[in-house]
Structure 1
Amino acid sequence: MKWFEILQGEYGCPMVMLHVPYQGDGVITQSMRRYVVEQLRNKVIPLLEQVSGKSYDEDRLKEMLARSAAAEDDLVAVLESAKNVPSPIDAYFGGVYYIGPIFTAFRGTEETIDYYGALRAEVDERVSQGKGPITPDGEIQEERYRVVVEGPPNWTNFREFWRMFAEDGAVVVASSYTKVGGVYDFGFRHDPSRPLESLADYCMGCYTNLNLPSRVDMLTRYVEDYAADGLLINSVKSCNSFSAGQLMILREVEQRTGKPGGFIESDLVDPRYFSAANIKNRLESWFQMIEQRRA
């Protein structure tokens, strides 16, 4: 379904599509980069100039990219703080709050730098005090399970979903969802010296634009580097960019790490697919598997 064409017809507004090549071979080639840059220069920028009444200012873009790169350094430090035991953050449920500003309208602003600087300082303090993550129901006092989660969270029952983990002392130390807006912890930074090329690389490097072998490599590394007890997949109905290939990903990560995998199902936006009892039962079974592997 052509979602954005439908919205264009509904609201009678201008629309431009940026086509981003998929990393089918696991790399970004120069021809892929050139293709995206040409679209930005010849289609996206002219339309935005027309709609906004403002001319493209590359010097201002460079300044914003430099601020983005500075904030990205702090974001990576926050996410990698989960390598500590106990982890001071939850990198899935809490992580969605951490990625929000830089993945949306605040990217490139001074406010973003202020936010991530303050967040990093707070997380560093929690590390020094040996504290676990804060949840809506309070601080997790005992970290019993360290898990990696693949897939988006359930937004319709977000707090209830989070509570299922927190009640059992399960802390998410790394997640793929926090990388849908950039894989900064694997080295990418916005580069003001090559502004449009940097934007192109950013678009092509986001998690759901990676091929399945690259996703397996990333999740395997998370399980190993963050001393996780296993990989859990939350398979949703409304995002094929995530759900396609997840069972293969689960089995491959299990085989590489020797850690048990878990599989639950819900949805991003449709509450009919959220069965609290079913999810709770599957989580409990998976936690029991983890305990058995430890024995």
Structure 2
Amino acid sequence: MNTTVQITPPQASQKPTPAVQKEDAMWLQKEMINRNYSELASAHENGKKVAATFVPGNLNELVMCFDFARSLPETNALQNGMRKKSGKFILDAERDGHSEDVCTYVKSDLGMMLGGEIGPTGEKLPTPDLLLLSYTGCFTFMKWFELVRQKYNCETVMLHTPYQGDGKISQSMRDYVVKQLKETVIPTMERVSGVKFDIDRLRQYMKESVKAEDDLVKVLQSAKNRPSPIDGYFGAVYYIGPIFTAFRGTPEATQYYDILRKEIEERVRNKKGPITPEGEMAEEKYRLVVEGPPNWTSFREFWKMFYDEGAVVVASTYSKVGGVYDFGFRHDPDHPLESLADYCLGCYTNMNFPQRIEMICKYMDEYEADGLLINSIKSCNSFSAGQLLMLREVEKRTGKPAAFIESDLVDPRYFSAANIKNRLESYFQMIKQKRAVAGVATAH
């Protein structure tokens, strides 16, 4: 079992100079993520096996039952993007024969392998002992792990997750996933790890998960306040980091989300806006819902475009990619395997378009948003397919303006700052005009 690790907020002297401003909870999550990289780097030396897996459908509680160190290729690519390392890795992968149209997470990861597998923190990442594909809604994931398996000749196990084509999870779908867990996934993990499965251990991890999930939802829903104390897109990527990666189910994550919730509740009491890298948001002028992932290579510049205009994202679909908790899902210690099945089946990108549209419309209403912004990611079909359809339908249902911008995950070649800034400025003007027209109509 994992033991509790005491988290203490870093002192001011520990924070990097100057410029970037973050909440204490943002520094804490960075510390946690970096510590996981250090533990990964020394895993084999310490006699631990390594499992590589993805964020959607992340079975962290189950993986921990077998004492695996956890590596997440998406997170590696994301972290490399934020550290300005992914551009070279992508070019290296393309020189090795991979197409420009392939997901840039994949090319960043493969390029990192070609360069000696030096991870985002400068430490060498270990060769995985197990590749666990627990969400198959993204076909690219399957091809990605095929390439990794060819390179390392490591054990691979796939959990096939049916798509929610009818917009609901049926009992037969749940049973199908549980059957795979019992007959394929768990026996493989036992064999590779040498650790016998203990369902009570899984239940204990899930009890911790529920506490963290409850607190995360309170944090995300705090954006219903005016002003919103958080940014539900740029800020939320820090908040979701521990729970969507290697920490969900640990006492450390429970403690982190308790600290985060209290920090945000204090901001609500003081009627403060979100902290951004440029400082505290002084005036909330626009409230937006955002669909699609952020651009990581120009993350701060991207966020500043919103800050400069007084725009706060009050809800986003990307912050639900590792769990749609705000619509009621919680891991259930009393039905642990069924709970894992529901978690995989309920991934945001495993939901059909009517479900996604309904979710966005609910956010627009409940968070009193001024409009919807879609950031369409060039190389991510899981998110980008159907987004124009979603945009038109949300506009039609809500009567609020929507806008469409394009960038990429971790390829700096596809972030056109001037183009995006122009589109955003035009969009905010459109919102102002809509307000003016509505004000005139109300006056009459």
Q: TM-score range by the shorter chain?
A: over 0.9
Instruction: For 2:251, give the aligned amino acid.
Output: E
Counterpart of 1:242 in 2: which secondary structure?
helix
Within the alignment, does 1:256 sit opposite 2:397 as a pair? Answer: yes
For residues 133-179 of structure 1, give each alpha carbon's deviation from its aligned partner in whole angstroms, at most 9, with x where no partner exists: 00111111000100000000001111111111111110000000001
Within the alignment, does 1:152 sit opposite 2:293 as a pair? Answer: yes
Instruction: For 1:207, give the aligned amino acid.
Output: Y
Match runs of 1:136-215 below 5 Å? 136-215=277-356
Residue in structure 2 matched with residue 268 of structure 1 by the alignment? 409
Report sequence identity in percent.
71
Instruction: For 1:34, give the aligned amino acid.
Output: D
Counterpart of 2:220 in 1: which secondary structure?
helix
Match runs of 1:71-110 below 5 Å? 71-110=212-251
Residue in structure 1 matched with residue 375 of structure 2 by the alignment? 234
Residue in structure 1 matched with residue 211 of structure 2 by the alignment? 70
d(CA) in 2 for partners of 1:238 and 1:202? 25
Instruction: For 1:184, give the aligned amino acid.
Output: Y
- Counterpart among 257, 264, 270 of residue 123 in structure 1: 264
For residues 239-290 of structure 1, give each alpha carbon's deviation from its aligned partner in whole angstroms, at most 9, with x where no partner exists: 1110000001001111111100011000001111100000000000000000
Counterpart of 1:188 in 2: which secondary structure?
coil
Residue in structure 1 matched with residue 153 of structure 2 by the alignment? 12
Instruction: For 1:20, give the aligned amino acid.
Output: T
For residues 3-29 of structure 1, give each alpha carbon's deviation from its aligned partner in whole angstroms, at most 9, with x where no partner exists: 211110101111111111110000001
Equivalent pair of 1:237/1:266 in contact (CA under 8 Å): yes
- Counterpart among 281, 286, 290 of residue 422 in structure 2: 281
Residue in structure 1 matched with residue 182 of structure 2 by the alignment? 41
The alpha carbon displacement at 1:31 in A equals 0.9
Comparing 107-116 with 36-45, greater Cα deviation is found at: 36-45
Query: Which segments of structure 1 move beyond 2 Å, counting only runs of 4 or more?
Result: none
Residue in structure 1 matched with residue 99 of structure 2 by the alignment? none
Instruction: For 1:202, give the aligned amino acid.
Output: Y
Within the alignment, does 1:25 sit opposite 2:166 as a pair? Answer: yes
Counterpart of 2:333 in 1: which secondary structure?
coil
The alpha carbon displacement at 1:53 in A equals 1.0
d(CA) in 2 for partners of 1:17 and 1:269? 26
For residues 78-123 of structure 1, give each alpha carbon's deviation from its aligned partner in whole angstroms, at most 9, with x where no partner exists: 0000000000000100101111111111010001110000000000
Counterpart of 1:111 in 2: which secondary structure?
helix
d(CA) in 2 for partners of 1:55 and 1:61? 12
Alignment length (residue pairs) = 295
Equivalent pair of 1:238/1:269 in contact (CA under 8 Å): no
**RMSD, aligned CA:** 0.7
Counterpart of 2:257 in 1: which secondary structure?
helix
Residue in structure 1 matched with residue 199 of structure 2 by the alignment? 58
d(CA) in 1 for partners of 2:172 and 2:294? 35
The alpha carbon displacement at 1:46 in A equals 1.0
Q: TM-score, normalised by structure 1?
A: 0.99
d(CA) in 1 for partners of 2:358 and 2:378? 24
Instruction: For 1:263, give the aligned amino acid.
Output: F
For residues 193-225 of structure 1, give each alpha carbon's deviation from its aligned partner in whole angstroms, at most 9, with x where no partner exists: 110100000011111100000000000000010
Q: TM-score, normalised by structure 2?
A: 0.66
Comparing 172-181 with 10-19, greater Cα deviation is found at: 10-19
Counterpart of 1:167 in 2: which secondary structure?
helix
